[in-house]
Amino acid sequence: MASALSDCSSRATARLLPFQRSVQSRVSQFQRSVSIAWNPLGMNAIRSAASPHWSSSAVAPVAMTTETSAKVIDGKSVAKQIKDEIAGEILRMKDGTGIVPGLAVILVGSRKDSQTYVRNKKKACEAVGIKSYEANLPEDSTEEDVLKHIARFNDDPSVHGILVQLPLPRHMNEEKILNAVSIEKDVDGFHPLNIGRLAMQGRDPLFVPCTPKGCMELLHRYGVEIKGKRAVVIGRSNIVGMPAALLLQDAESPRGYRLVGDVCYEEVCTVASAITPVPGGVGPMTIAMLLSNTLSSAKRIHNFK
């Protein structure tokens, strides 16, 4: 048995061969979103495996002509549940302290996809009671312009999370800009210090990157045990693949690297016990985790338990 998280930023595009009986998942980023597939029980067990952890309302079978088909992990419904929990916590915090969490998003340029993501994040913030702040800078801004906005948000006590929408225009040094975000407000978890801490035993990062965190949360909420399983992560981008691998290792999985390839959803459905769809899988979870990180940040900064 094996599982895989694949990151479509990698060049690997091989299709899963059904006879391998291995589990594949796909974690893509940016324009595409993410799938997780998991086969903890093996193919024969799939149809009879009615684990008590699987909430029937959150699980739907995929229409397939083949004999077996994976449970579809409903990221959208889990994300909604999490957002409801967050909204409750924000009310409690507001009642207790008068403070509401604030998220600042910096968008440079006018990429349509980035504008859509930013709009969706803003809507999600409003829905749970997070105040959102926005800085929209023109494509030809300088690094210094962006750094100035980061510094302003770093110093603004009503802002608890800062997100610099990626990708940045080519003329900018991404590392330099992400480095400037205060580590206490780095709700994306992209600051080198947060990523470094994720890799170190016994030094918890202040924030875990939202997409891999969302994948782990889906596995957790669906009762999928990670300990002792073999996991394959495809792609090692700083924001999805690499932190995903670190989080899975944390769960005491054996270590090792091997390139497997991208996933073919239709084929994987026949061998995996569970898979996340696109849309409605990891994408909505990414946003829910961003809200969760922003809430945790506000709680930490104001010492609200």
Ligand X SMILES: Nc1nc(=O)c2c([nH]1)NC[C@@H]1CN(c3ccc(C(=O)N[C@@H](CCC(=O)O)C(=O)O)cc3)C=[N+]21
165 contacts ligand X (rule: CB under 6 A): yes
188 assigned to active site: yes
Nearer to ligand X, 165 or 294 (CB): 165
User: 1, 2, 30, 154: which one contacts ligand X (CB under 6 A)?
Assistant: 30
User: 136, 280, 301, 302: which one contacts ligand X (CB under 6 A)?
Assistant: 280
Nearer to ligand X, 84 or 252 (CB): 84
Nearer to ligand X, 169 or 280 (CB): 280
109 contacts ligand X (rule: CB under 6 A): no
Minimal distance, residue 31 CB to ligand X, in Å: 8
204 assigned to active site: no
Region from 96-104, 198-206, 245-253, 283-291 binding ligand X, contact rule CB under 6 A:
283-291
Nearer to ligand X, 239 or 245 (CB): 239
What is the SS3 assignment for the chain?
CCEEEEECCCCCCCCCCHHHCCCCCEECCCCCCEECEECCCCHHHCCCCCCCCCCHHHEEECCCCCCCCCEEECHHHHHHHHHHHHHHHHHHHHHHHCCCCEEEEEEECCCHHHHHHHHHHHHHHHHHCCEEEEEEECCCCCHHHHHHHHHHHHHCCCCCEEEECCCCCCCCCHHHHHHHCCHHHCCCCCCHHHHHHHHCCCCCCCCCCHHHHHHHHHHHHCCCCCCCCCEEEECCCCCCHHHHHHHHHHCCCCCCCCCCCCCCHHHHHHHCCEECCCCCCHHHHHHHHHHHHHHHHHHHHCCCC
31 assigned to active site: no
How many residues contact ligand X, by CB under 6 A? Answer: 18
207 contacts ligand X (rule: CB under 6 A): no
189 contacts ligand X (rule: CB under 6 A): no
Point out the catalytic residue in the list 74, 165, 213, 229: 165
Nearer to ligand X, 170 or 227 (CB): 170
Region from 216-224, 230-238, 259-267, 276-284 binding ligand X, contact rule CB under 6 A:
276-284
Cis ω for the linkage preceding 212 (within 30 of 0): no
214 contacts ligand X (rule: CB under 6 A): no
Which parts of this chain interact with ligand X (CB under 6 A)? Answer: 29-30, 33, 117, 163-166, 188, 210, 278-281, 283-284, 286-287
Catalytic center residues: 121, 165, 188
